[in-house]
Amino acid sequence: MRTYPAWQKKSGIALCAFALAFVGIELILRLFGFRINTPQETANLPIFRPNASYTNVGVAGRPNEYQVKVKNNSYHFNDVEHTKDKPKDTIRILIIGDSFVNGNQVSLEQTFFRRLEKKLNDQSQTKRYEVISLGDHGAGPLNYWNAMLTPGLSFDPDIILVEFLPENDVTSTVDSLKQKWVAWEKTAIQKTILMSPSTPAWVYKSRFLSLLLYAFDQFRAKETLDAVPLDKRIDPDWFVYCKRPLWHDLWKAAWDTTESAYQGMKEEAKKRDIDFYVVTFTSTFEIDAYNGKNTLPTILSPYDCNGQLPNQRFDALAKKLNLHYLNLNPIFARREQETGKNPHYPFDRHWNEIGHTWTAQEIMKAFGKEMINHKRGAL
């Protein structure tokens, strides 16, 4: 019988042990449904195409948190079809916003706007309520105003509810700030292995290998970005939390434009005797700040930042414009403390089913009685 040197035996045993460990961890990850989203799954989704069907899996290069089948309506929104002619004895509520209003991170019936419609109809004895969602990914206050005008007003709404998302709505109002965000995202994506065009597709087929690369990307992120100029190293959206942000003049213009947009929408609604509501949506930074925790990136430390700052500014803006207004951030902070539940997906950062459930409940609690006893032009 052939004998092998001791070092070869030890190497063989180590190799077998490694292979068994790799296969074991791979099987465990598959058993628990863990995987990393591939760029191929998330690229070129037809989110703006009328009548398109697709599956939304979340953010490329991050752990998968959901798989949602989406069917756009004929206006390209993630909603059921709505006729232009308003049915008799129907109160129409138009909800306008960005990807949070689009809600394609949960099934359609789990979205807050579908839940709100059901709650209103369950409590109404004489009227039918129809909630129409106009939620577009990447939209901001100027887009909301345009959506309100077209196609919004063509649905003859009785009530209009418009979102404000402090984390990135303000950025979207000034092209120069938007372009800085595009430059930052491109730089951040190029510095990760998983998002590199040269990374072969087979890497993603192994749950364990893709997890190792994801962990390595997170570990080396700071080092790889240190060589990037500061204005491309920090997500420009984050400066909305800072009293002394980079590009101060651009931020002043952005807040001025935001104020003008909400004032314009309110006046447009008032001309048509449409009740106008505004709801501030949530982010993890803001909820944490209301719970006394500063979870903003440490790279922002020199800029005097506070997670509550954009909410405070919009609270003042809402008071100045006399908006009929609800801020969900302190409410969600309290509910998160009481329940221990997270209303956001940890990686995607949009609302999960809990977030949509709470939103429908809180809108109903704040405005439901007015909506049930609706008299057009009362606000």
Q: Is the pLDDT of residue 221 over 70?
A: no
Distance separating alpha carbons of residues 258 and 239, to the nearest angstrom: 16
Model confidence at 282: pLDDT above 70: yes
358-371: average pLDDT:
96
> Where exactly are the structural domains of the chain?
9-35, 93-173+237-372
pLDDT tens digits for range 302-343: 899 999 999 999 999 999 999 999 999 999 999 999 999 999
Peptide bond into 151 cis (omega under 30): yes
Query: What are 99's two structure tokens?
Result: 């990807």
* φ, ψ for residue 58, nearest 5 deg: 110, -150
Structure tokens at 46: 């037809």
Instruction: Read off the pTM.
Output: 0.92
Those residues with Cβ within 8 angstroms of residue 166's Cβ, 6 or more apart along the chain or in another chain: 240, 280, 283, 286, 310, 311, 314, 329
Q: In the prediction, which pLDDT does 76 show?
A: 97
Q: Which helix (H) or strand (E) holds 312?
A: helix 309-321
Q: What's the CATH class of domain 93-173+237-372?
A: alpha beta
pLDDT digits (tens, 9 = 90+) for 21-75: 989 999 999 999 999 998 888 888 999 999 999 999 998 888 999 999 999 999 9
The answer to whether residue 1 scores a pLDDT higher than 60 is no
**End-to-end Cα spacing for the chain:** 95
Q: Which of 111-125, 128-142, 215-229 has the lowest mean pLDDT?
A: 215-229
DSSP string covering 147-216: HHHTTGGGG--SEEEEEE-TTTTTGGGSHHHHHHHHHHHHHHHHT-STT-TTS-THHHH-HHHHHHHHHH
